[in-house]
Amino acid sequence: MSSRREFVVQLSVGCAALAAGTVAKAQPAMVKESDAIATSLGYKEKASTSKDPKYKAGAMCSNCALYQGKAGDASGACPLFAGKVVSAAGWCTAHANKS
């Protein structure tokens, strides 16, 4: 009888630990300007700091067709930076206007 009780307690503890681990993994890392792909694409965390001749005022990740964040989010996923998120206020040379 006590082995059944111990099993249920251990199962509960294991599920709680698994749930806590899932929450921690839910926050992907931010792309850094120094990342290799970011550097090759001229990524800037704040679009207005870009000195790239392709940059046009007002262009930023949040209004790019590739940006997968929701409106109003501070950051969101971009398929160019798999597993990481970009700043909504950021910009890179792959910027594509939403149509």
pLDDT at 18: 57
- Domain spanning 28-87, CATH class: few secondary structures
DSSP secondary-structure letter at 97?
Answer: B
Q: According to the model, what pLDDT value does residue 98 have? A: 87
Least confident of 20-29, 30-39, 65-74, 90-99: 20-29
pTM of the predicted model as reported, rounded to 2 decimal places? 0.72
Give 78 or 27, the one with higher predicted confidence. 78
Reported as a pLDDT band with limits 50, 70 and 90, residue 32 is very high
Is it the case that residue 31 has pLDDT exceeding 80?
yes
pLDDT value at 19 more than 90: no
- Read off the DSSP letter of residue 25: H
One-letter amino acid at 67 equals: Y
CA dist 67 to 2, 15, 17, 80, 93, Å?
Answer: 54, 34, 32, 9, 13
Mean per-residue pLDDT over the chain, rounded: 86
pLDDT for 41 beyond 60: yes
